[in-house]
Structure 1
């Protein structure tokens, strides 16, 4: 029974975060850039299956994905982004 409860809570959290990520999609591109996101980040996160938490995908895209790619492109050794 504890496994069922934790799964149910995780699904509820994923649904709540999905609504919040969808609300971010209502912002214009300028505001999204101000918080370190792009419209494609929002769309990618929402394209995940419904049981997955889209906020985790946004964190990966924002903090790890682009920062890593930019540092490698600029010739610097990869290190964690400051926002993580």
Structure 2
């Protein structure tokens, strides 16, 4: 009975270790597969003209730079970083313009100025 208990515990720990090893191994395979799928999607973005890219906030050099990454790397992460930096630059410009614009936009025609200043 003791021998069966020891064997059962040994096998359960081996299976947990094997499960962990399989999970780590498949995570790498899933990451490469995801990178290849995203590369194909970025290649489809490269087919767009400049106007189409501008509509989604990209320029040709963003897409070309993303495709220049390693085949094992995820090009969509490069595009996400560039979009994030572009958004932060745009937000900084917008904040700068609002600070230097004065009190804000002019009130609409026919608006009572006393109400506009109190609001």
Whether TM-score is above 0.5 comes out as yes
Q: Name whichever structure is richer in helix by fraction.
A: 2
Unpaired runs of at least 5, structure 1: 78-84
> How many correspondences in the alignment?
75
Shift of 1:35: 1.2
| 1:54 match | 75
Write out per-residue CA displacement over residues 27-49 of structure 1, whole angstroms, 9 at most, x where no aligned residue.
10001101111111101111111
RMSD: 1.6
- Give the TM-score normalised by the residue count of structure 1: 0.79
| 1:34 match | 55
Structure 1 residue 66 corresponds to structure 2 residue 96: no
- Give the TM-score normalised by the residue count of structure 2: 0.58
CA distance in 2, matches of 1:75, 1:31: 24
CA distance in 1, matches of 2:85, 2:68: 17
Unpaired runs of at least 5, structure 2: 1-21, 97-119
CA distance in 2, matches of 1:75, 1:27: 28
The structure with the largest alpha-carbon Rg is 2
CA distance in 2, matches of 1:35, 1:70: 14
Q: Which has the higher contact order (CA 8 A, sep 6+)?
A: 1
SS of residue matched to 1:52: coil
